[in-house]
Amino acid sequence: MNDIVTTGSTGVIGRRAVRDLLAAGHHVTGVTRSARGRERLQSLGARAIEADVFDEAPLRRAFDGADAVVNLLTHIPSADRMADPSAWEENDRVRTEASTAIARAASAARVPRLLQESIAFVYADGGDAWLDESAPVVGDGVTTTALTAEHNAHVCYRR
């Protein structure tokens, strides 16, 4: 049983991940920025902590003692707004600025493992092979910040 802290834990992917981690017997703490998020996490059975994902100091405190941090932050615009580049600004910010703060805070808290969520379509089709960070990149435009978040996890996080 591990102590796992998740960011993005109240989103579409995050809620499912929290449920699965709890079902697997892990202790899960979700980082949220609101009372509503706190309630949502607690209703799932997770512990909730309010912290600004752009601020390393509170993140470090949230991550202290964790066995892993899972960064699931994303802010994909609704389908009707996807063609508008300005609709991606918040997503770009969480994938660049927040991913840096999260990686640095996890490193400072000496968390043994950091997992960074990404998206598969930034990589070339690998057929039946698993895709990882060494796969050829084909993404551009709005997908490049997913690669930035991956990069931040590698560069800013030191075990």
Domain with 50 in it? 3-155
Residues 157/104, Cβ–Cβ less than 8 Å: yes
Residues 114/106, Cβ–Cβ less than 8 Å: yes
* Alpha-carbon distances of 144 from 49, 73, 93, 116, rounded to whole Å: 30, 15, 12, 14
How many structural domains comprise the chain? 1
SS (H, E, C) 113-140: CEEECCCHHHECCCCCCCCCCCCCECCC
CATH code for position 55: 3.40.50.720
Q: What is the mean pLDDT of residues 1-11?
A: 95
- β-partners of residue 4 are 28, 68
Count of alpha carbons within 13 angstroms of residue 23, beta-carbon side: 6
Which pair of tokens denotes residue 53? Answer: 């994902």
Parallel, antiparallel, or unpaired for β 68-71 and 47-50?
Answer: unpaired
Q: What is the pLDDT of residue 50?
A: 93
Report the percentage of the chain scoring pLDDT > 90. 65
* pLDDT, tens digit, 9 for 90 and up, residues 16-68: 999 999 999 999 999 999 999 999 999 999 999 999 999 999 999 999 999 99
Indicate if the pLDDT at residue 83 is higher than 80: yes
Q: How far apart are CA 71 and CA 104, in angstroms?
A: 12
DSSP code per residue over 77-121: PPGGGTT-GGGGHHHHHIIIIIHHHHHHHHHHTT-S-EEE---GG
Q: How far apart are CA 131 and CA 150, in angstroms?
A: 13
Residues 153/98, Cβ–Cβ less than 8 Å: no
